Structure 1
Amino acid sequence: MATTARKSVLVVTRHAHQGSALGRSALDAALVSATFELPVTLLFQGQGVLQLLPEQDCTEAGIRNLRKVIESLPLYDITPIYVDAAAAARYALQAELLPPQAQLISLDRQRQLLADHDHILGF
C-alpha cells in the first residue's frame, strides 16, 4: 500500500484584529487544517502582527480576543508561529510582548516559508 505525504499548509495573516474578521478567519483555517492533521505554519505579516498584542478590543468585529486563541495554538501542534520582524518593528511590537511560541523572522526567511509549503492561505 502506497503512503501519501501530508500536504503542508502556510496560513498568512496580514490584517489587524480591529474592523475585520479576517484575523479570526486565518486562525480558524489554521485550526481546521491542524484538526485534519495537516502540518500547519502560521505567519503574521504587516498589520497582522497587531493580532499579537496582549490587550485587544475585538468587540467591533464581534469576535473573541485573538491573542487568547493564538496562545492556545500549541495544543493543536501549531508551533512556532512566525512574525514579520520588520512589521513588528514598524508597529513597535517588542519581542517580550509576543506569545511565547512566536519567532521574529526576516524577509528572506518569509520567502523560504512560502517556497517550502504545498498550500498557502492568505487572509
Structure 2
Amino acid sequence: MARSMLIITRHSPWSGTSAREALDVVLAGGAFELPLGLLFLDDGVFQLISPQHPSSIQQKDLTANLQALSLFGIDELYASNRSLAERGIAADSLSLPVKIMQDDELTALIKRYDHVITI
C-alpha cells in the first residue's frame, strides 16, 4: 500500500515559486495515485482567493492548477481557520471546497499522514 503524504503550502501565490512548486508536487503525486492531502497554512490561504491577479508581478495564475486537483483525485483539502482569520478571509469566499481546521485538529491531521512536506 502506498504511503500517505500531506503537503503543507505556506506561501502566497505572489511570493515567488513556492506555491506553484507545492501544487506541482501534489499534482504529480495525484498522477501516481498516491494518497495525498493538501493543507493551506499561513499565507498559503491566499491561494484560495479568486480571482488572482498575478500578471502585475510577472507570475502565473494558480487557479487552473487548483481547479485540477479534483481531476487528479486530490480531494483532501484543508485550510487553517486561524490563518484565514488572521488574514481577514471569510470561509465562504474560498475558491475551493476545503475543510476548515482548528489548531487542535491540525495536529491530529498531521499525525494521520505517513509523510509531511512543507513547501
- Fold similarity call, TM over 0.5: yes
Map 1:21-36 onto structure 2 (within 5 A).
21-36=17-32
Query: Residue 90 of structure 2: which of 75, 94, 101 is its match?
Result: 94
Could you tell me how far 1:61 is from its partner in structure 2?
A: 5.1
Which of 59, 64, 74 is the matching residue for 1:62?
59
Is this contact kept in 1: 2:48–2:96, CA < 8 A? no
Structure 1: which 5+ residue stretches go unaligned?
A: none
TM-aligned CA deviation for residue 101 of structure 1: 1.9
Q: Which runs of 4+ in 1 moved over 6 A?
A: none
CA RMSD of aligned residues (A): 1.3
The CA distance in 2 between the partners of 1:45 and 1:61, in whole Å, is: 24
Stretches of structure 2 that go unaligned for 5 or more consecutive residues are: none
Asked if residue 44 in structure 1 is aligned to residue 40 in structure 2, the reply is yes
Q: Percent identity?
A: 29
CA offsets 1:65-90 (integer angstroms, 9 cap, x no match): 11232122111111131000011011
- Kindly provide the CA deviation profile for residues 74-112 of structure 1, in whole angstroms up to 9, marking residues without a partner as x: 111111310000110111111121134211111111111
